[in-house]
Each structure stands twice: as structure tokens, then as C-alpha cells.
């Protein structure tokens, strides 16, 4: 099987409630105007955005034989993401999140790791990965069986097979940071990292210095996601700060994960660095305008129209 991107890492069912400004008193009931379930997780959203832009994608990993697992599989299938490399298990529930969204789009999460915590090196099907152009890891710090040396070995094997590699970092609540990703960095082509996370992983403060830290390990391309301040992108030849689109923010869940899908699509289609960053930025700008991580992306044409400030 040939595919543009294979993702591994976090996939989950997101139960999303909006708007939530405060919790009701314990033991009472409050009514909410919006409560929806969406496909979430760094690996899932990136794969779905790749498909919606016109590329191909697969997910490999582990899910439970439960309702949330059925929902996740159904959502991936509906998006056209290949799931031949998914292992279903009976001894653990699938990953799920309750997302409480404020009126300003800010989120508070209640997350159950579930099968994400069990996904390990042996679960990754290299008959699927070997057919990919890029292997993308979404979720260092919340994929404990992959963190550190295991993912380093996986990326090294991917490179030996001629597969490029990318990683989207996640916040480390345990405070370990760099040791979780350092074994992967010498075998990594692209790294995506939010500014806050990157400051912890690298010990550097400014985007350019952060990029230089990652590149010192041999990473070719660095994308620093800066939220309302846009993106900073750098490779061995050039660097750019790309301002964010000014839009009404409904829900920021998954915007950074979606942006990764946009950048990888552009990268695989030989767009230059600046335009790749602009597409990623546009994907993020569309995503924050509605609930869910990938649903706002309808097509490459619509996204490019938005990117170029035309009617979307």
C-alpha cells in the first residue's frame, strides 16, 4: 500500500461542550447549548486534514473494542483514512476527552489516555509504514510506551526504508521534556512544536533559537506554532514569520494538529517553505472558527482561497 502520510500517536473521541465559563455546584445540573462528539487527537486530526486537502493517509496503533473505539474507526473511515494497521483490544478502553470550551474558544480538558497509553513499538505495522512518504508521530509525553528510545528506533527504521519522518510535540505534565524526544531528533526531518512546549523541550525562548536547537540534531525543517501570533518556519536555507489570520475564534481544539496536516501536504507537493507555512496557517485559521479539529477543512481549493484572503 502506498500512502502519503502514516500517523501514529494520539487518536481519541472528543466530547465537546460549549460555552462553559464555570462548573455548576457539585451535585447540580446545568444546561448547555452545544454538546457534540468529534474525532480528536494529534495523529487523527493530522491524518484527516491530509485527506481533506487531497492527500492520502493511514493511522497505525491500538484502539479498544468499545463505543469510543467504534466512533473513532467510523470517523477515520468516513474521512478516507486507512486503518489496516489498527489493532483492536478487549482489555482497555479507547482514548477519550471531555473538552470544556469557553466563550473565547479557550479549552479545558479531562483526558483519559486509554489505549494511547498501551500503544507500543510492537503495535506499529511496518508493512503499512514502509509504503508511506512520511511517518508522523503526534503525541510525545502522552504516548508513554513510545516516548524516548522506542520512537527513536522506529524513526531510524523508517529512514532506513526511505520514509521521511515528522513529529508534533505535546505538553509534558510530568516535566521530563527533552528525554522524551531526544532519541528521535537525529532521525527526524520535520518537527512541529508550540512555542510554550518548545521552550520547555529546548530550554530556548525565541522561535529562531528554538529552531536552531532542533536543527543542531540534524532536523531539517522546524515549525513553531505561536497561536494568535502565527507560525515561525525555518530550514537550512530560509526562515519566515507568518502572521495569523484574524478571525472569530469559536474553538481552538485541534488547530495546531490540523496545521501539521496542512504543512505536510504542502511539503509533499514541493511547495516552498513560506507557502507551506502559509497553508498550515490557513488550516489553523479555518479550524478555530468551528468546533472540532478537522471539520472546517473542506478542500484544498477552499483553503487556498482563505489563505489568499478570498471568499472561502
Tens of pLDDT, residue by residue over 118-135, are 999 999 999 999 999 999
Whole-number pLDDT of residue 311 = 41
- Cα separation, 107 vs 98, in Å, equals 10
Supply the mean pLDDT for the chain.
94
- Nine cell digits for residue 12: 481519541
44: left (phi over 0), alpha (psi -120 to 50) or beta: alpha
- Cα separation, 308 vs 167, in Å, equals 27
Structurally, what CATH architecture does the domain formed by 3-10+42-94+122-307 represent? Answer: 3-Layer(aba) Sandwich (3.40)
Q: Which residues contact 219 (CB under 8 A, 6 or more apart)?
A: 185, 188, 189, 190, 191
- Under 8 Å between Cβ of 219 and 190: yes
What are phi and psi for residue 32, nearest 5 degrees? -125, 145
Whole-number pLDDT of residue 250 = 83
Tens of pLDDT, residue by residue over 58-112, are 999 999 999 999 999 999 999 999 999 999 999 999 999 998 988 888 888 899 9
Q: Which of 163-172, 217-226, 289-298 has the lowest mean pLDDT?
A: 289-298
Tens of pLDDT, residue by residue over 15-41, are 999 999 999 999 999 999 999 999 999
- Nine cell digits for residue 133: 512518504
Tens of pLDDT, residue by residue over 283-298, are 999 998 987 778 889 9
Residue with cell string 529546548: 202
pTM: 0.94
In 3D, which of 183, 47, 195, 201 has the Cα closest to residue 128? 47
Domain extents for the chain?
A: 3-10+42-94+122-307
Residue by residue, DSSP assigns 194-243 as: EHHHHHHHHS--SHHHHHHHHHTTT--EEEEE-GGG-EEEE-SS-EEEEP
- Under 8 Å between Cβ of 213 and 203: yes
Amino acid at each position: 500500500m502506498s500512502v502519503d502520510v502514516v500517523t501514529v500517536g494520539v487518536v481519541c473521541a472528543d466530547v465537546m461542550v460549549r460555552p462553559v465559563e464555570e462548573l455548576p455546584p457539585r451535585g447540580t445540573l446545568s444546561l448547555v447549548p452545544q454538546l457534540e462528539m468529534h474525532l480528536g487527537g494529534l495523529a487523527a486530526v493530522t491524518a484527516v486534514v491530509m485527506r481533506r486537502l487531497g492527500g492520502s493517509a493511514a493511522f497505525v496503533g491500538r484502539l479498544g473494542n468499545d463505543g469510543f473505539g467504534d466512533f473513532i474507526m467510523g470517523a477515520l473511515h468516513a474521512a478516507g483514512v486507512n486503518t489496516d494497521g489498527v489493532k483492536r483490544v478487549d482489555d482497555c478502553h479507547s482514548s477519550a476527552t471531555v473538552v470544556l470550551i469557553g466563550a473565547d474558544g479557550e479549552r479545558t480538558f479531562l483526558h483519559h489516555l486509554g489505549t494511547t497509553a498501551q500503544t507500543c513499538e510492537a503495535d506499529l505495522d511496518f508493512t503499512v509504514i514502509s509504503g508511506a512518504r512520511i511517518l508522523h508521530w503526534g503525541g510525545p509525553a502522552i504516548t508513554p510506551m513510545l516516548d524516548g528510545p522506542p520512537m527513536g528506533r522506529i524513526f531510524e527504521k523508517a529512514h532506513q526504508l526511505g520514509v521521511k519522518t515528522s513529529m508534533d510535540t505535546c505538553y509534558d505534565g510530568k516535566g521530563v521534556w527533552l528525554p522524551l524526544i531526544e532519541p528521535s531528533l537525529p532521525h527526524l526531518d520535520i518537527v512541529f512544536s508550540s512555542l510554550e512546549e518548545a521552550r520547555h523541550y529546548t530550554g530556548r525562548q525565541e522561535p529562531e533559537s528554538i529552531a536552531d536547537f532542533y536543527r543542531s540534531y540534524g532536523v531539517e525543517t522546524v515549525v513553531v506554532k505561536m497561536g494568535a501570533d502565527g507560525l515561525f518556519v525555518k530550514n537550512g536555507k530560509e526562515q519566515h514569520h507568518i502572521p495569523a489570520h484574524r478571525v472569530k475564534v469559536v474553538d481552538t481544539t485541534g488547530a495546531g494538529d490540523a496545521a501539521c496536516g496542512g504543512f505536510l501536504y504542502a511539503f509533499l507537493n514541493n511547495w516552498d517553505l513560506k507557502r507551506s507555512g502559509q497553508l498550515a496557517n490557513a488550516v489553523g485559521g479555518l479550524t478555530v472558527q468551528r468546533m472540532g479539529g478537522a471539520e472546517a477543512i473542506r478542500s484544498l481549493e477552499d483553503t487556498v482561497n482563505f489563505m489568499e484572503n478570498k471568499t472561502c
